[in-house]
């Protein structure tokens, strides 16, 4: 008979489910090709990586750039003619900028389709919207500095676009973009903007990640080098080149556009500046309102049980969103600190409960209460249900499966010899529950959840893996469990079909193991802050 906890896997909530399914299918193809280096799981980190390439190459180009009307185009041509220490670096600057635009847009779309914009995530979403304006303004401004025919077209188009605003009142084109008004001071202003806008962008990127702990700002080394190699190959294959120098006395008939940054200009001339302002302003407003318009019901947050908290700080260390803070003790107990949950930041993931040393099922108390817990799925209820499920298991190989609500639905694995438990996040599981299951009748424990590099709550899969390997507290006491009794398999919601074969293989491995008696577990004394892992 199937055994389940009170918490069951929830259906995927996405504003556009067909698009999400297409995205998941695409990610699955990349998963097979790249494994843990899947670029779809590192879009934010890749954006940072491209930004630093842009900054490094930009500094080199700025040193050689002539900020004057007559010297701007000529100096860019001279830089390009230097081949590697000029032309290739200029090309890297250009293609890294394009890649930056692509990754930030894909990152936005991916987070939107996964519904990651409301409740505890609202700040990251809303703070990310202005970054789009800073990013694309920086890129467009960079094209001005070349001062070729394309730059002239962009400058005139931008002036006409800004002139619609009452604050300018038609002065931009008249005062700045005529043959007589172009001066060296104008180019100094462009250079100032091209330095200032990226600095504002970097400050905004820093603000964007302030509500998460251990933000992923560096892609895996192999992915970083591979991506850099691709940019370098493209730079050698298709070097960035300039158009003829700008001439305000005439208008060029044709020139190539960088559609990643300059796609708005055809829209400007297909309609009017007012229509383009309405479009861009409307899209910006819609993005800002997404958390309010499409926000989901808030789940209950973590609750601290102060009499069972010893102030160890593990919940603080493991929280993916910095929702747990440590402060001086308020109840006069001997412990120096206590954990406090910030409701605005709590993701309701339960990772803190999995980190708490009081969450061990071996404590000799009738009702297990842990230092920090999830009201919708308390650790005490999990122990009671696990104990009952172990008594009902039958068959040659008895297996306990711990799954994750955000990953593949483990309910399909139900069988007489399999007890099923689905947690809020795989990181909610205290490792001691694995030992408890094996020492109380289970032949093996099968864990599954999101892939480590794509956890719904960022760090659940990583912390679980490190707890099982002994790298992180609380850790699994491997000396208490015979080898081969624990298996962990990553399976996203789209990979449900892979779970049954993986469980069958684990069952076969267990059947081949020599039958070793495992000491039955006696309840350990109830000690607040027991560090048993």
Q: What does the pLDDT read at residue 476?
A: 93
Same domain, 58 and 200: yes
**What pLDDT is recorded for position 461?**
93
Report yes or no on 118 lying in a domain.
yes
**47 and 181 inside one domain:** yes
Residue 13 neighbours by CB under 8 Å, 6+ apart: 115, 296
pLDDT of 350 reads: 95
CB 252 within 8 A of CB 152: yes
Tokens representing residue 421 in the block: 């438990």
323 shares its domain with 237: no
Q: Please, are residues 35 and 222 in contact by the beta-carbon 8 Å criterion?
A: no
Mean pLDDT value across residues 185-212: 92
Find all residues with CB under 8 Å of 362, minimum gap 6, and list them: 432, 436, 521, 523, 524, 532
For residue 354, tell me if it sits in a domain: yes
Tens of pLDDT, residue by residue over 158-184, are: 888 988 888 777 677 666 666 666 778
Average pLDDT over all residues of the chain: 88
CA-to-CA distance for 171 and 264, rounded, in angstroms? Answer: 22
Question: Each residue of 298-309: pLDDT tens digit?
Answer: 889 999 999 899
Distance, CA of 256 to CA of 283 (rounded, Å): 26
Q: What pLDDT does 493 receive?
A: 84
- Mean pLDDT, residues 302-320 taken together: 93
Banded model confidence at residue 185, pLDDT cuts 50, 70, 90: confident
Examine residue 164 and state whether it is found in any structural domain, yes or no. yes
Tokens of 355: 């980190």
Residue 483, pLDDT > 90, answer no
**CA dihedral of 524, 525, 528, 533, whole degrees rounded to 10:** -10
Please check whether residues 243 and 325 belong to one and the same domain. Answer: no
105-120 pLDDT per residue, tens: 999 999 999 989 988 9
- Model pLDDT for residues 37-69, shown as the tens digit of each residue: 999 999 999 999 999 999 999 999 999 999 888
Residues 309 and 238 in one domain: no
Beta-carbon contacts of 485 under 8 Å, excluding residues fewer than 6 positions away, are: 438, 443, 444, 445, 510, 513
Specify the pLDDT at position 5: 45
Does a structural domain hold residue 256?
no
Q: For residues 74 and 84, give the distance between their C-alpha atoms in angstroms, rounded to a whole number.
A: 18
- Domain assignment of residue 123, given as a range: 38-247
According to the model, what pLDDT value does residue 250 have? 76
Q: In terms of domains, do 237 and 320 share one?
A: no
Residue 70 sits in a domain of what CATH number?
1.20.810.10
Question: Are 120 and 237 in a shared domain?
Answer: yes
Distance CA 368, CA 383 (A): 8
pLDDT digits (tens, 9 = 90+) for 449-464: 998 888 999 999 999 9
Q: Do 396 and 492 share a domain, yes or no?
A: yes
Q: Do the domain assignments include residue 532?
A: no
Instruction: Assess whether 183 and 311 both reside in one domain.
Output: no
Residue 29 lies in a domain: no
Residue 51 CB-half CA count within 13 A: 27
- Which of 208, 227, 247 lies at the terminal end of a domain, its last residue? 247
pLDDT at 2 over 50: no
Of 518 and 346, which is predicted with more confidence?
346
Chosen domain end from 247, 272, 291: 247
86 part of a folded domain: yes
Instruction: Tell me the pLDDT tens digit for each residue of 16-30.
Output: 888 988 998 899 899
- 447 and 314 belong to one structural domain: yes
Residue with tokens 């992180």: 472
Question: Which alpha helices (H) appear in 295-399, and where do they start and end?
Answer: 314-318, 351-355, 379-392
pLDDT confidence tier of residue 3, bands split at 50, 70 and 90? very low
Residue 524 has pLDDT above 90, yes or no: no
Mean pLDDT confidence for 313-339 = 90
| pLDDT in the model for residue 174 | 65
Q: Look at the chain and report how many structural domains it folds into.
A: 2
Interatomic CA distance for residues 182 and 214, integer angstroms: 47
> CA of 512: how far to CAs of 93, 396, 504, 505, 509, in Å?
58, 11, 13, 11, 5
Q: What is the mean pLDDT of residues 180-209?
A: 89
Residue-wise DSSP of 182-226: --HHHHHHHHHHHHHHHHHHHHHHHHHTTTSSS---S--HHHHHH
Are residues 444 and 488 in contact, defined by beta-carbon separation less than 8 angstroms?
A: no
User: Does residue 251 register a pLDDT over 80?
Assistant: no
Q: Sign of the C-alpha dihedral, residues 311, 313, 315, 321?
A: positive
Where does a domain end: 229, 247, 265?
Answer: 247
Q: What is the pLDDT of residues 64-97, one digit of tens each?
A: 999 888 899 999 999 999 877 889 999 999 999 9
| Pairing assessment for the beta strands 399-404 and 372-373 based on DSSP bridges | unpaired
Confidence (pTM): 0.88
In a domain, 107, yes or no: yes
Residues 372 and 225 in one domain: no
Closest CA relative to residue 389, chosen from 442, 443, 446, 448: 442
Contact of 108 with 128, CB cutoff 8 Å = yes
What is the percentage of the chain residues whose pLDDT exceeds 70? 91
Section 388-414 average pLDDT: 92
- Residue 483 shares a structural domain with residue 338: yes
């Amino acid at each position: 008979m199937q055994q389940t906890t009170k918490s069951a896997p929830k259906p995927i909530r996405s504003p556009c489910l067909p698009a999400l399914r297409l995205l998941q299918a695409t990610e699955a193809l990349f998963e097979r090709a790249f494994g843990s280096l899947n670029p779809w799981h590192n879009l934010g980190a890749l954006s940072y990586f491209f930004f630093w390439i842009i900054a490094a190459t930009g500094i080199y180009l700025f040193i050689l750039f002539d900020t004057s009307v007559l010297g701007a185009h000529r100096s860019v041509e001279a830089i390009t003619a230097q081949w590697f220490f000029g032309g290739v670096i200029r090309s890297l600057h250009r293609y890294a900028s394009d890649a930056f635009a692509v990754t930030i847009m894909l990152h936005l779309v991916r987070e939107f389709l996964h519904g990651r914009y409301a409740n505890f995530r609202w700040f990251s979403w809303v703070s990310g919207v202005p970054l789009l304006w800073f990013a694309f303004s920086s890129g467009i401004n960079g094209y001005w500095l070349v001062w070729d025919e394309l730059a002239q077209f962009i400058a005139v188009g931008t002036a006409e676009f800004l002139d619609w605003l009452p604050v300018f009142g038609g002065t931009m084109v008249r005062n700045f973009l005529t043959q007589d008004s172009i001066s060296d001071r104008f180019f100094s202003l462009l250079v100032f903007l091209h330095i200032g806008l990226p600095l504002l962008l970097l400050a905004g990127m820093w603000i964007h990640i302030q509500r998460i702990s251990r933000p992923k700002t560096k892609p895996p080394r192999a992915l970083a080098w591979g991506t850099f190699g691709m940019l370098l190959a493209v730079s050698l294959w298709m070097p960035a080149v300039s158009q003829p120098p700008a001439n305000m006395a005439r208008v060029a008939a044709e020139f190539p556009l960088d559609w990643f940054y300059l796609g708005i200009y055809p829209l400007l001339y297909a309609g009017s500046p007012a229509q383009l302002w309405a479009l861009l302003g409307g899209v910006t407003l819609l993005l800002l309102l997404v958390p309010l318009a499409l926000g989901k019901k808030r789940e209950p947050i973590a609750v601290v049980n102060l009499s069972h908290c010893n102030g160890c700080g593990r919940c603080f260390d493991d929280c993916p969103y910095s929702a747990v803070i440590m402060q001086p003790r308020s109840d006069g107990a001997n412990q120096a600190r206590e954990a406090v949950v910030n409701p605005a930041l709590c993701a309701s993931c339960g990772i803190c409960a999995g980190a708490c040393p009081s969450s061990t099922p071996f404590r000799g108390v009738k009702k297990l209460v842990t230092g920090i817990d999830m009201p919708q799925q308390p650790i005490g209820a999990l122990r009671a249900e696990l104990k009952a499920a172990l008594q009902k298991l039958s068959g040659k190989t008895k297996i306990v499966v711990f799954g994750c609500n955000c990953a593949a639905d483990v309910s399909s694995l139900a069988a007489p010899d399999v007890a099923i438990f689905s947690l809020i996040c795989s990181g909610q599981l205290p490792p001691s529950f694995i030992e408890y299951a094996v020492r109380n009748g289970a032949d093996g424990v099968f864990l599954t959840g999101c892939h480590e590099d794509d956890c719904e709550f960022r760090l659940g899969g990583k912390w679980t893996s490190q707890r099982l390997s002994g790298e992180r507290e609380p850790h699994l006491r491997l000396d208490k469990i015979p080898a081969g009794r624990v298996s962990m398999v990553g399976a996203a919601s789209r990979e449900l079909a892979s779970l049954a074969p993986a469980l069958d293989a684990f069952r076969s491995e267990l059947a081949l193991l020599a039958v070793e008696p495992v000491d039955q577990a006696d309840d350990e004394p109830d000690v607040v802050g027991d560090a048993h892992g």
